[in-house]
Amino acid sequence: MPDTNTELAVVISELNNKIGTLIEKQEEMAENINKIKEAIYDPQQGLFSRLRDIEIWKSNLMESIQERLTYHTIKEGELRMTQVEGTVTAIKKIQWLVIGAAVTTITALMIKHFVLI
């Protein structure tokens, strides 16, 4: 009987240690999730704030491009298509960069939140 009590005490002690470790990891994960939420929703430096700034920049850039297209004409009204095509290509690259960053961030959040919990 004493051996059984001793073994039982050891098992309970091990379970207690494992539960303590689990609680620490859960608290650490909660802190990480709070940091992620802050990184996304912070009004000054968050992902949504940056995305809004990029959209505003894109809108201003598109207006600027429209103005340039109007003024950069050659004789007989032909547009300088190489400049327009280069600008459009650059804008498309920026759009894909922003979309890729947003999708990557959202995917990472979903994996952390739903898979790792």
39: Cβ contacts below 8 Å, ≥ 6 apart:
45, 46, 47
Contact between 40 and 108 (Cβ < 8 Å): no
More confidently predicted of 91 and 47? 91
Q: What is the amino acid identity at position 36? A: I
Residues 25-51: pLDDT tens digits? Answer: 999 999 999 888 887 787 777 778 888
Global model pTM greater than 0.75? no
Q: Which residue has the higher pLDDT, 78 or 30?
A: 30
Alpha-carbon span 64 to 8, nearest angstrom = 76
Domain range list for the chain: 1-41, 46-117
**Confidence bin at 1 (pLDDT 50/70/90):** low
